[in-house]
A and B are shown apart, each in its own frame.
Chain A
Amino acid sequence: MPILIDEKTCLSGCTICDFFCPGDIIWRESREEPPEVKYPDECWYCGACEDHCPVDAVKVVFPPEMLDCQTPVETLMGLPARRPA
């Protein structure tokens, strides 16, 4: 989960993370329910939610694909560059 929300700290009725998320990832449709990270695969890892949370209840957590990335640059290049000379 890219975004952890501490439900104990989260302010009831606040919808800042819902409104500030540029990707429509975090939803809080009901003030009674805690916010839901509804589309975690579509997170940009921008940190707008954590940055704007008034009570520091939000934390962005980077996944292993990003922290331990081993992808060689060749896989990002076109086939002409990867073709044997």
Chain B
Amino acid sequence: MKSPAARLRPPSEKTQIIETDVLVVGGGVAGCLAVLGAAEAGARVTVCEKGGIIERSGSVAAGVDHFFSVLEEGPEWDTPEYLLRHVPRLTDGIADMGTTARLLHGLKPMVHYLEKLGVDFTDPETGRKYYRHRSFGMPGEYTINFDGRDFKHLIGRAARNTGALVLERVMVPEILVEDGRVRGAAAFHIRHGTFYFILARAVVMATGETNRMSRNASGLPFDSWHTPYNTGDGQAMSLRRGARLANMEFYDCTLCPKGYSTQGTNAFVGGGGHLINRQGERFMFRYHPDGERARRGDLVHGIVSEIMAGRGPIYCDCTHLPPEEIHRLKETLGVDRPAMPAFFEQKGIDIGKAPFEVTVSELSSRHGGTFFRSSGILIDPGTGTNVEGLFAAGDCSTMGAGISGAAVLGKVAGEEAARHALAARKPRALPEEEIAALRGAILSPLQNPGGYTHSRFEDEVRSVVTDYVGFYRDEPHMREGLRRLRALRAREGEMTARDHHGLMRVHEARSIRAVAEAMAASAIERRETRGGGAHARADYPARDDATGLKMIVVELQGEDLRVSSVPTGLTPEDTRSTVSLGEASAHAHTD
């Protein structure tokens, strides 16, 4: 049998050394806006994207149909200040108000900036510009409907047109930090294996959320409700080099057709579909006064509780809806996921004729069920971190708010990183032996014999997360989960890769484990239940405002995670409802 190494390019292939002012890791919405922000501020920029071309990569590569914004068009609710007053309630008291304020004030200028790039915010159904509706439990009609099938293409093209160096199919598995200051990053081409060392004065992380973390219904790990290729790489590599992560205890989960973990199922209940149990009863009102219009996390907990009480299976019933609404739902079925109509067809589901069975997806580490409270790299209002020269934006940071948050703070991150880079000293070149050592460590899975694959390693992580850290949690199980996840860290070095694509998967598996460990360590410290289904403790089933109004922060100390907390400065009164909730629109978007 041919050894894996025999299939590699000869080791003599030279490392490509690139010098840049700002390195952007990830070419999704946040990454492309960071490129634009940094380039416009006068910096030389390099962007690495492990997927395909930046015009078609990231979570909204296939398109998007809504953009959340304040526009100051007159109504009382349409100002940053008004919305900011409601953020404590929306986030259950877990928000960084300074960063949220920076985001909210940046929304309207961002809408106009995107229009200059060619984005057209006209509603395809009514032909009206800035046609907005209420969604996500927000206290106003902030969500603009638009035809965003070319949204990512436009911003990707604009980023490319800045003249930035665009490295596609190039994964960054490690950044380099020296004396608390960013030096650059190492990267490799996922098909051809070219190895890059990128010397940078500032780095912007824009790698998205973390998936493939827990078991799902089909048992196929890449069948995940958000993109399975977002694996927390930015969070993990930043953590390894001293950055702090926060809100890691929260998880995201959704309802989905049984067997297919996908976004988009909320559209059925948003469009008037009912969730019914085995007896045909609309059970959601047992769990939430808003019934099917409750937040996503509440729906998930309703479905799970109903099944556990022996009243499953659960169905989504649309048969009572008028034919035109059934038609609309069928027409828009593939907006979030182009393959969804094919799934319904191949499974023989006709939503107009019979209820279809639903279940819940796996867990992801993302928004914790709401905007303005993401699990990720802890950022300040300027998107900076505790590591000098390291910035973060979008869903890998603590301030996620869909593509709106990614766009606004992505651009801020680019600008701030450029400012930092242009004032920083020229970094000294790295000694050749140091680059060689780094390269050797990153490529080592290609030389590993044996059959310990990334999928076996990941399966172990997923089973620990599911059984011990997962959905309904208690301290003894999470402690055991944490112990097992730490033990798995010792096995990371055994993973083997057959090619550079497989090498990418090995590094992704390491990231997933690191995020899972941060989730377990943080979730132990939140001794309460909070967040509309984002953190449910079996041993502390109630919300506890005396101890809970804090952000839980993790950082690496030696080999282990150190957990601390920062009070959010919000009071229980701040989090009380001041407007009526639950007026979900007929277009209940999934983000």
- Which residues of A come within 8 Å of B, CB atoms? 18-24, 27, 29, 38-39, 41-48, 50-51, 59-63, 65-69, 71-81
Contacts and interface: CB of A to CB of B under 8 A. Distances in A.
B455 interface: yes
A76 B191 contact: no
A3 to B, nearest CB: 10
**9 smallest beta-carbon distances between A and B, as pairs:** A47-B339, A69-B259, A47-B338, A78-B470, A51-B338, A81-B472, A80-B538, A66-B259, A71-B217
A43 B52 CA distance: 15
B71 interface: no
A52 B370 CA distance: 32
Contacts of B469: 78
B477 interface: yes
A66 to B, nearest CB: 4
Contact of A48 (B62, B466, B538, B539): B62
Given A44-B222, A44-B224, A46-B339, A78 B334 contact: no
A65 B259 contact: yes
Interface stretch (B273-281, B340-348, B382-390): B340-348
Given A24-B169, A41-B222, A76-B466, A51 B62 contact: yes
A19 B191 CA distance: 13
A47 B169 contact: no
A24 B222 contact: no
B526 to A, nearest CB: 15
Given A45-B223, A69-B359, A71-B218, 18 more contacts: A19-B56, A22-B51, A22-B57, A24-B52, A27-B191, A41-B220, A44-B224, A44-B229, A47-B340, A63-B220, A66-B260, A66-B343, A71-B219, A72-B307, A73-B308, A76-B466, A77-B472, A78-B477
Given A76-B215, A76-B216, A21 B338 contact: no
Given A46-B339, A51-B338, A60-B339, A76 B223 contact: no
Contacts of A79: 467-468, 477
A79 B342 CA distance: 35
A73 B312 contact: yes
Given A69-B259, A78-B471, A78-B477, A48 B347 contact: no
A37 B362 CA distance: 25
6 contacts: A18-B52, A24-B501, A39-B501, A62-B347, A71-B219, A74-B308
A74 B455 CA distance: 23
Contacts of A61: 346
A74 B223 CA distance: 18
A38 to B, nearest CB: 8
A22 B61 contact: yes
A68 B312 CA distance: 17
Given A73-B304, A77-B304, A42 B222 contact: yes
Contacts of A50: 338-339, 342
Nearest to A68: B259
Interface string B316-350: 00000000000000000010011110110011000
A39 B497 CA distance: 13
B422 interface: no
A75 B214 CA distance: 11
Nearest to B340: A47
Contacts of B62: 46, 48, 51
B228 interface: yes
Contacts of B513: none
B312 A78 contact: no
Contacts of A29: 191
A67 B57 contact: no
Contacts of B467: 78-79
Q: Which among B304, B308, B339, B342 has the greatest number of chain A C-beta atoms within 10 A? A: B339
Given A45-B339, A63-B220, A80 B501 contact: no
A46 B56 CA distance: 14
B228 A44 contact: yes
A48 B61 contact: yes
Nearest to A74: B308
Interface in B190-224: 190-191, 214-220, 222-224
A63 B339 CA distance: 13
A47 B477 contact: no
B339 A65 contact: no
A58 to B, nearest CB: 11
A73 B258 CA distance: 10
B339 A76 contact: no
Contact of B360 (A18, A46, A62, A73): A73
Contacts of A41: 220, 222, 455
Q: Which among B218, B260, B304, B474 has the greatest number of chain A C-beta atoms within 10 A? A: B218
B28 to A, nearest CB: 10
Contact of B471 (A18, A44, A76): A76
A83 B111 CA distance: 50
A22 B190 CA distance: 13
Contacts of B304: 73, 77
Contacts of A19: 52-53, 56
A44 B227 contact: yes
A24 to B, nearest CB: 6
A79 B479 CA distance: 13
Given A39-B501, A66-B220, A73-B304, A47 B334 contact: yes
Nearest to B258: A69
A20 B56 contact: yes
A77 B474 CA distance: 12
A73 B359 contact: yes
A20 B156 CA distance: 14
Nearest to B504: A24
B473 interface: yes
B395 to A, nearest CB: 15
Q: Which among A43, A47, A66, A78 has the greatest number of chain B C-beta atoms within 10 A? A: A78
Given A22-B57, A23-B222, A44-B224, A78 B472 contact: yes
Contacts of B220: 41, 63, 65-66
Contacts of B219: 65, 71
Interface string B284-317: 0000000000000000000110011000100000
